[in-house]
Amino acid sequence: MKQITLIVLTVFLFFSCSDNFDLEKPDAKKFVKQLKNGTYNEFALAENGEKLWTLFPKFSMKDIPILLSLADDTTIINPFKHFPTNPISSIPPFRIDEKGNGEGIMLAEYLLWSVETIINNGDYPSLTPLLRQGKEPQLSVGLTGKDVLAVREKYLNWWNDYGKNGNISVSPLSGTGYWWR
């Protein structure tokens, strides 16, 4: 009897600790956790099972406050192949982390891009999840963490003034000089 109980508990523990992700009913906190630890693994697959590109979850307006609350982390995360980007873009993120782990993306900036994707009804706002200010022509010049957090404040203000009331006709970046590359 003890062996059966142990087996049942082991199986239950195994399935309850599953890191599976439901693209149709996504959990925003789990999404961010998987992005941070590099385990987000939802891909479009070719007929032979080969991974083509990472799929963006079907978030809705109700997920925006959670994503905005988590968009206060300016850590560079990588590998970037584990977070959804615009599949028609061949441009990888141009941020290099301080630890020398290669190209990555600033988490806060990426989550703001995710919010913008939700506002656009699942259409990506740009080829890459990189913010620019003014008419900055250089591809490799990005906003600082402090700048991204200032943009986050604009999104929070937009949410309180418009978004939570369902008014998405006004863009969070309208009149700010910031734009998605």
**Which of 23, 64, 26, 54 lies closest to 157 in space, CA to CA?**
64
Backbone angles phi, psi at 57, to 5 degrees: -65, 155
Mean pLDDT (the chain) is: 85
**Alpha carbon distance 41, 53 (integer Å):** 10
Question: Residue 158: which pLDDT band, with cuts at 50, 70 and 90?
Answer: very high
Nearest Cα neighbor of 86 from 99, 65, 105 is 105
The pLDDT value given to residue 10: 40
Q: Which of 64, 65, 8, 18 is nearest to 41 (CA)?
A: 18
DSSP state, residue 60 = -
Task: Please tell me the pTM assigned to this model.
Answer: 0.84
Residue 153, C-beta contacts closer than 8 angstroms, at least 6 positions apart: none
Q: Which residue has the higher pLDDT, 87 or 3?
A: 87
Residue 3 in this model has a pLDDT that exceeds 80:
no
In the chain, count of helices (H) and strands (E)?
5, 7
pLDDT of residue 17: 44
Question: In this predicted structure, what is the pLDDT of residue 83?
Answer: 84
Percent of the chain with pLDDT over 90: 60
How confident is the model over 85-133, as pLDDT tens digits? Answer: 898 988 776 676 666 666 788 999 999 999 999 999 999 999 889 998 8
7-47 residue pLDDT tens? 434 434 334 344 589 999 999 999 999 999 989 999 999 99
Residue 69 token pair: 């609350």
